[in-house]
Structure formats: structure tokens, C-alpha cells
Amino acid sequence: MIRKNAWTLYDLEAQKACDRFAEEYKAFLDACKTERECVDYFVNAAEKAGYTELQELIRSGKKLKAGDRVYSVWMNKSMVLYRIGKKPMEEGMNILGAHIDSPRMDVKQNPLYEDSDLAYLDTHYYGGIKKYLFVAMPLALHGVFVKKNGETVVLNVGEDEDDPVFFVSDLLIHLSQELMVKKASEVVTGEALDIIIGNKPLIIDAKRKAGKAGCVDEDDKEKNKDKAVVGVKKAILGILKERYGVEEEDFESAEIEVVPAGRARDAGFDRSMVLAYGQDDRVCAYPSFRAMADEKAIPERTSVTLLVDKEEIGSVGATGMESRFFENSLAEVMTLAGQYSDLGMRRCLANSRMLSSDVNAGYDPTYANSFDKKNASFLGRGLVFNKFTGSRGKSGSNDANAEYIAHLRAVFEKANVQTQTAELGKVDVGGGGTIAYILALYGMSVIDAGVAVLNMHAPWEATSKADIYEALKGYRAFLADGSDL
């Protein structure tokens, strides 16, 4: 089976709609390079779309009815949205689930040090990355300091044109003879991914007891006889204190992520693609949210969109899909709708249907030996169904049943959604996972459905605008489906 390139099926109006949505998507990517930034963005957009925060409803005691819109945030890094449907929730929900974390580097809790007149921040990489790709490129810092008094200080440096950027140094090619014969996994080690953040020492005027950052001309002893060089680290701490009001100890309760600096860009002479950081999995998260927020008619089955953290490290922790935050919020929503019981919630979950909105590896002719071309996803050929993920002998996978896939085929064909099917590379080459298997534990029908990506987990990933648009169309059709399996 060979699927058509979606662009060949678009009339002029569809092409314009596709391009408009791509522009909105790029603006989202520029604003949202961390989980916290994604949640802030989605909360603001959800409230504009008429969603009310769950805790506010609990405090007011307001009862929910068909058509009502509710959202709940957990620890500022995960989020779930509900649109109450006409049918009892016990009959199941239609769920879209995407993750909003992406591979990156995290700043350690005791990170700041100085060596050879260079100030560094020590980092720990997060998720699966080729470490050598993150050296010698402009990097930005995004995150928060939370001070002992509870104050949260937001840090976002490296994105504006007049912002400084940061970088991990690389060894010059002239001295790299030993480095060039190492395996790719050993060229750059995790402990070598420390970012350089400064080079200018703090100079203190001994007469006035005032300080300023500047360079010392060591040859001009007369000029500098009343000045003492304190160090680059001290200068950086002075900048952090002056601009953000934070001390070195505040790194202990900080969450700062190191990400590629720069905005999402059109790619190709035809501007058919998007090149940007973090498209795994925000290229699925944004269309999932938009499909939910743009709903007009009251759905037959309750609509749900899950936007979760920690997928790139196994969905663990309090904000990952393995936590109970989704179950807890569902119990609260069913209670406010007058539909809760333990058995009722179990039935609701078991009768639900889910699209695990996650990306798939786009076929790359340059690395054809890693793919089974007959069962690969291609840029521009539409929303990708992956029946199972996992690795090798389907280890760690969710394997969707044929009845559910047949149902979805009918739903998307009726909605004129272009789809394709794929696996993640050749059987014995590798593999990967999504949150699909976790939701499948409830007994619900789940399949992965997302966008094909080139350069997955690299600092800059590439997607087709047509695939992003088809994902939006597909997610809308899925949420609107109220028919029986």
C-alpha cells in the first residue's frame, strides 16, 4: 500500500488552511520550550475557550452538565482537559494523549563553577540524545528559581535577538585525532555537557568599595593598582543577584532547562516543512489541544486531552503518565457530574478509546538501512498509525486490536483524513515507547497516532506542514466520534 502525498489532495483553500495552522503552531513552539511554558500557554488558551479550572469548580460546588469544559493542572507540568459529553461517562470517553517534555539538558542543583577564567553551569542530560549534537551551538536557558519564601523567579534567556546565548565547547579539529576514532557515544560524555556562561571577572575598586564587571589590562599595572580581580563566578553571581534577585543557594530549588536557542523556521524552498526544537512531542500536543479547544458541538462521548510530562524518561514521577493525577481528576469530574462510583469510573476507563498522540520516525533515504520501507512513515503522507511500539519482539509495546483499527479507519475516511501506517524502523535495529501501554492497562482501546519526524531527538527536528494539518483534522474527527465499536 502506497499512500498519496497529502499536498496533492489539497485545493487552494486547503493549502491556505494548512499554512495558517502551521504559522500558529510555530508561534506556539517559540513560546513553549519547556513543560511549564506549555502548561502556561495551554491554561491561558483554555480559559479563553471557556474552560474552568477544576479546583474552582470543587470550591464552588457547581455541578457539571453536558457541554461543560474543565481543565486541571498538576505541579505546573502536566494538564488534562475535559469536555462533558451527552452520554454517561460510564460508557467511555474519547481521549487524546500527548507529552510535552522533550530531550534537553537540565542544570544540576549545585551547578555553578569557574575554571580557567570561564564560568560554567554543570548539566545532566534528559532523555535520549546524541550528546555530540548539542556542542558548539547557541543554547538558551528556560526555567524557574523557587526561593525559600515561595517566590518564583522565571528565567528565559537566549531567545530574543538582543539576549546573550550559551554554549558547550567543542575540541578544535586540529587537535581531535584521538577524538575522531572514538565511537559516537563516547565522543562527548555526559559530564562534558557543561555550558559556558561567562568570561569576564568582577573588578572591585578598593578605594570606593564598589564593584563592576570588566576586563583587567594586566600590562597596565598603574591603572589597576587599586583594583582586585575577584573572579568570573563572582561576576555571574552578581548579575543573577542584580537582575533576578537570586543567590547561589537558590539553584537548589531551581528547575532550569538548557535548550537550543532560536525560533521555529520554515524549511525548504517551498516552505513545506517546519524545522524547530521540541517537535517530539509538541507537534502532536498542539493539534490535540486545538482539536479540543476548537470543539463547537457538544460531543456524544466526553472528550479528554492529556498533556503530560516525563515521557522521555519512562513516564515516571508525579507528573508522568504512570502517576495517578489523571485518575484523581477523573474521579473529581465524575463526582461533579453526579456520575461517580468506583465501579462507574472503572467502566468509564475500560470503555474509553484513546489516540496516543505521539510522533513516529519519518523515513530518511540517507539512512535507508535502518528502515523497513514498506512499513515506514513518510513526511507529507498524513497522520501515522503505529499499531505497536516497543522494541524487537514487541517488548514494552501496546498492540492495538484489529477491531479498533478498523473502526478508526472508517472514522477518518468519513472525515477525509489522510493516514498512513508505520513501525519505528527495522525490527532488530532499535525501538521506542509512548504512553499508550499505560492507558491500555485500564483495558481501553489505544493506538499511537501522530506525525512523522525527521531528526527525532536532535536539537532541530523536521516535520511536514501537511502532516501537522492532517493530525488536527484527525484529532477533531476522533473527538467527534460517538459511534459504537
Mind listing the domains of the chain with CATH numbers? 6-102+277-480 (3.40.630.10), 104-260 (2.30.250.10)
Measured distance CA(284)–CA(9) in Å, rounded: 22
Write down the pLDDT at residue 229.
Answer: 57
Question: How open is the CA angle 170-200-135, to the nearest 5 degrees?
Answer: 15
Question: How open is the CA angle 158-159-162, to the nearest 5 degrees?
Answer: 75
Cis peptide before 281 (omega within 30 of 0): yes
Write down the pLDDT at residue 223.
Answer: 52
Measured distance CA(22)–CA(380) in Å, rounded: 13
Write down the pLDDT at residue 228.
Answer: 54
CB 78 within 8 A of CB 462: no
In this structure, how many other beta carbons lie within 10 angstroms of the beta carbon of residue 369? 8
Residues forming a β-bridge with 106: 124, 257
What backbone torsions phi and psi does residue 482 show, to the nearest 5 degrees? Answer: -115, 10
CB 384 within 8 A of CB 421: yes
CB 372 within 8 A of CB 423: yes
Write down the pLDDT at residue 213.
Answer: 47
CA proximity to 279, closest of 6, 464, 475, 484: 464
Q: Quote helix, strand, coil % in the chain, to nearest 5.
A: 35, 25, 40
Write down the pLDDT at residue 205.
Answer: 61
3-state secondary structure of 361: strand
Measured distance CA(469)–CA(45) in Å, rounded: 19
Write down the pLDDT at residue 272.
Answer: 98
Write down the pLDDT at residue 207.
Answer: 53
In this structure, how many other beta carbons lie within 10 angstroms of the beta carbon of residue 21? 19
Measured distance CA(188)–CA(131) in Å, rounded: 6
Residues of the chain with pLDDT under 50: 208-218, 220-221, 225-226
In this structure, how many other beta carbons lie within 10 angstroms of the beta carbon of residue 152? 11
In this structure, how many other beta carbons lie within 10 angstroms of the beta carbon of residue 204? 16
